[in-house]
Structure 1
């Protein structure tokens, strides 16, 4: 996408619950890595990137799942979840609950926390004409280059995932219409990581720093 382009999404379409937990609200209700959710609409689809407790929380899934909710995750998550659970691997594409889901890899390069051999996940989903990328717990990896999305949710905390600087470089690889920092402010990382991410992308990629349980707040970037 052009470096001159910018975009907006409906204010209530993307909700951040903290850490890596999001709700995308459109023609379908989609949660990604639900964690520490107080309340929310019942889900049509739940996407879970990997089985770590702060991403695959059976307690939080139970708060938002209906009997017909579809859950998409990797094989180790199956031990923690019940219901209509679909197991996927990076490279898969599926149409579920009216949403097109492309399964991406998520892994560390040179760190042991999220090894590539585990087959853990990021997701690109197409809904209502918009493409959303949730990177999962990952470093900047070659598979990100050339992903065409409107909105990219990227981890910025460092330690277990990309630093703010590495995430900014990844955003430049992807060039989404809008990027949203995540994986900070609770278990690891701080608001300063999100602000640094926005500063590094000023004039290059539009950044929206979301408030907890709400829509977009002040945007950095373009």
Structure 2
């Protein structure tokens, strides 16, 4: 083999080795990114429908407990609005303790007693070391009768931007894709995807792109409203990372 062929052969081997090394680094980076995304939801437990539990270091937070089993006692219970599949006194009783705090709208507060803090869209407060910001949640295109939305803006229903242990989680509540979502950029966005009363999977894809979370989690499926197929469709179409949490019952 002459010197030119030898140089060419070494060049090919070097390029191939670089390619393998580059691919290895790329796959390693991708695996690390997946691990980082998974870490964002380690504290979050999906209890069905719109119900979640967040296990903070110093506070256990429940959101819209509905048809749940007993669980760790709640330090903080967030309720987005007064509808019975979100504001359920029987389910709150399963996880409430003497000093649990409920944060909810005025209409939902009428169903409960004890330490209750009422909020409306735009309010911000800190309870048990957990930062809370109440955001609007309403329908633009989902109607129970012509011109009458299931969740009217004027009803003052809310979603919550929740900060626990430095992690920011947006629970959208029962809502369509609304302008107030744009640019929120939380770590985690919990988004309804079932349609009928809330965003469809396709609408939730557009909402997720506008919100810009590090990861999105579909909700408002199961319990006879929507199905896991809606969650899977949302994941397949979304332009942000999506994790479908296992149902914990």
Q: Which is greater in Rg?
A: 2
Per-residue deviation, 1:197? 0.1
Residue 15 of structure 1 corresponds to 45
Structure 1 residues without counterparts, runs of 5 or longer: 215-222
What SS class does the counterpart of residue 207 from structure 1 fall into?
coil
CA distance in 1, matches of 2:82, 2:41: 30
CA distance in 1, matches of 2:139, 2:55: 30
What TM-score does the superposition give when structure 1 sets the normalisation length?
0.91
Contact 2:214 2:241 in 1 (8 A): yes
Higher helix fraction (1 or 2): 2
1:166-207 deviation line (CA, Å, top 9, x unaligned): 001100001111110000122210111001000101xx3111
1:36-59 deviation line (CA, Å, top 9, x unaligned): 111210011000000100000000
Residue 152 of structure 1 corresponds to 189
What TM-score does the superposition give when structure 2 sets the normalisation length?
0.81
Per-residue deviation, 1:96? 0.5
How many residues end up aligned between the 2 structures? 209
| 2:123 counterpart of 1:92 | yes
Per-residue deviation, 1:8? 2.5
| 2:172 counterpart of 1:142 | no
Q: Higher mean Cα deviation, 22-31 or 5-14?
A: 5-14
Contact 2:192 2:219 in 1 (8 A): yes
2:248 to 198, 213, 217: 213
What SS class does the counterpart of residue 208 from structure 1 fall into?
coil
What does 1:115-126 align with in structure 2 at a 5 Å threshold?
A: 115-126=152-163
What SS class does the counterpart of residue 55 from structure 1 fall into?
coil
Residue 180 of structure 1 corresponds to 217
- Stretches of 4+ moved more than 3 A in 1? none
Residue 83 of structure 2 corresponds to 52
Change in CA separation of 1:136 and 1:205 when aligned onto 2, cut-off 3 Å = same
Structure 2 residues without counterparts, runs of 5 or longer: 1-29, 144-148
Residue 70 of structure 1 corresponds to 101
Per-residue deviation, 1:148? 2.1
